[in-house]
Amino acid sequence: MKKRKLNTALLFLICTIAIGVMSSYKIDFFEISKQIEIYNTLFKEINMNYVDETNPAELMEAGVKKMLSDLDPYTVYTTEQDVENARMRQSGDFVGIGSDLQFIDNKLTIFETYKGMSSDRAGLKPGDEITKINGVDILELGPGSDLLLGGEKNSVVTVSYLRNGKEKTASVTRENRKAKAVAVYEILDNEIGYIALSQFSRGSSEEVKNALKFMLIDDVKGLILDLRNNPGGILQEAVGIVNLFVPKGQLVVSTRSNNKKYNNRFVTRDQPLSLDIPLVVLVNGQSASASEIVAGALQDLDRAVVVGQRSFGKGLVQQPKPLPYGAQVKVTISKYYTPSGRCIQALDYNTKTRNGVVKKFEPRKDLFQTRNGRSVYGGGGISPDVKVGVSSDFDIVKVLKKNRLFFKFALGYISKTPPKKTEGFGIRESAFNQFKKYCLAENLSLGTLTESYLEKALSASKEEKLDDLLDAASVFSKAIEKEKEKAIDLSKNQITEVLSEEIVRICFYREGFFKYSLSYNESIKKGKNILINLDEYYDILK
């Protein structure tokens, strides 16, 4: 019965995608019906005639997943169980323990605890590996095991975890408190306001509004809106935040698609809180989606100076479509565009090399103009008006973050020499060298085509016992290792800064991270200087 349900859902998925294509501006009914007929007949013939017994459900699911993987990483098929898990997470009656959990090296790990919340009060810390939930082994539960940490408000969950190789147990009360979107807001020296927004969750625009009101009462001379490491969230919250600084009726972002029904324009609906406060927006390579909408709109409208590094470039919009038996497909339906017409999306999944590698849109190729006639470029992501940090073809810091190397090294550092306070803290030269050695020992991949091809060549040479080629390949391997070391050395200052911030975040929570950044982060320093020297600010926006 389950197999029949899964087959029906997956077959319906194929038809759903086909119908979606039919409704786009180019329609080829014959070609679509032809391909569906071929697929159906092929599937039937294989299952009826293959030499060994087949599993129709697994075959269909594998085919569908391969089909979707050729589109983009965000168009995904979701099983009935996964849909139910997501529904439970979004339910108002389903609450958690006040921490961010991630699977790191296939282990359910606490990545962050929120200050004062239940997991923090129970003594859980970043780096703790969850081994059992209410006595049930995580290995038995598999994917989605973190869902068991949630439940009804005020209920208690027993958590077993490993810390430095020792097993411990804690009883944690589930609660409905959520981490604030505005992690820190305060007035710095020279009467410069600072607001750090960590996510675009429900109500985040109201949090920013309240913080801004506080700043305006004290008559601040300028404002820094920090969107570094902000992965995005709810689109309407992004529009609401832009609305605090620009007039009613102003275009903030548009969505465009081959299917006209998904073409939309999102404009401000309310009167602004401040039209003239000098504004700097901070972004980096981990600022994505809604963060890029805010930064891009304020840049295009010449309402803010953007400082930092090019943002992530996540400009695709998804919408869930229901399938039979409770399954679902989340389909990419459109792309985000800033008011000047720049596409936020960085990777062009529609254009691939002969080897199947996704191409990036070329930065500085497509020229656009802001409201005042300033030149800004497409190419995905938001390129800052004032760059801070190393520019290169690939971002080594982003690679290190993706592999959680900052986090893992920081845990080891803290276990030996935990900082007692944020003031004056910073890692020494010896710690940087240890980190570099650690990264190289972790078989770090830069994600380049050269590495991919070399790995395949080495594997084939070993299987075919081609010793001479193995020797040649090993020379290339050593050269790549030197390139990795060179990339780390070139970004030494930025890596030192990020590693210091990660250590502070783990020891002193999210609030400590942002407060530490106020004194030591180069982007914040640059933003403050621009707002103190308003001649530079207005020169940039001319």
pLDDT, one tens digit per residue, over 84-111 is: 777 766 655 558 899 999 999 989 999 9
Residue identified by tokens 């039919």 is 22
Instruction: Give the residue-averaged pLDDT of 257-262.
Output: 94
Q: Are strands 358-360 and 367-369 parallel, antiparallel or unpaired?
A: unpaired
List b or e across 505-525, with b for residues whose CB sees 16 or more CB atoms inside 10 angstroms. bbbbbbebbbbbbbebbebbe
Two tokens, residue 237 = 């919250």
User: pLDDT (tens digit, 9 = 90+) per residue, 482-537?
Assistant: 888 998 999 999 899 999 999 999 999 999 999 999 988 999 999 999 999 999 99
pLDDT bucket at 5, cuts 50 / 70 / 90: low
What is the C-alpha to C-alpha distance for residues 218 and 228, in angstroms, rounded to an integer? 25
What is the Cα–Cα distance from 220 to 280, expressed in whole angstroms?
A: 13
In this structure, what token pair is assigned to residue 240? Answer: 């609401």
DSSP 381: S
**Inter-residue contact 541 to 386 (CB < 8 Å):** no
Task: Tell me 40's DSSP state.
Answer: H
DSSP secondary-structure letter at 35? H
**C-alpha–C-alpha distance, residues 262 and 91, integer Å:** 27
Among 340, 290, 277, 339, which residue's Cα sits nearest to residue 316? 290
Fill in the amino acid letter for 36. I
**205-220: average pLDDT:** 96
Q: Residue 391 and residue 374: Cα distance in Å, rounded?
A: 22
Q: What are the tens digits of pLDDT across the range 361-405?
A: 666 568 999 999 999 998 889 999 999 976 554 578 888 999 999
Of 164 and 474, which is predicted with more confidence? 164
Helix (H, G, I), strand (E, B) or coil at 512: helix
Enter the DSSP assignment of 361: P
Closest CA to 441 of 397, 485, 380: 485
Q: Can you read off the two tokens belonging to residue 199? A: 């996510």
Token pair, residue 507, equals 């020891």
Q: Give the strand pairing for 129-133 and 99-104.
A: unpaired
Alpha carbons 253 and 296: distance in angstroms, whole number: 9
Residue 253: phi, psi to the nearest 5?
A: -160, 150
Which class for 163: exposed (0-12), middle (13-18), buried (19 or more C-beta within 10 A)?
middle
- Core vs surface per residue 231-247: b (16+ CB within 10 A) or e: ebbbbebbbbbbbbbbe
List of E strands, 295-382: 305-308, 316-322, 328-337, 347-352, 358-360, 367-369, 375-377
Structural domains in the chain plus CATH codes: 2-70 (no CATH), 93-173 (2.30.42.10), 182-320+333-387 (3.90.226.10), 398-512 (no CATH)
Residue from 176, 180, 203 nearest 93 by CA: 176
Average pLDDT, whole number, for the chain?
Answer: 88
Helix (H, G, I), strand (E, B) or coil at 147: helix
pLDDT of residue 96: 86
Q: Report helix, strand or coil for 464.
A: coil
Residues marked active site are found at 289, 300, 314
Q: What is the mean pLDDT of residues 295-318?
A: 96
Higher-confidence residue: 116 or 474?
Answer: 116
Is the pLDDT at 180 greater than 50, yes or no?
A: yes
**Does residue 413 have a pLDDT over 90?**
yes
Which of 230, 281, 252, 274 is closest to 540 using CA atoms? 281
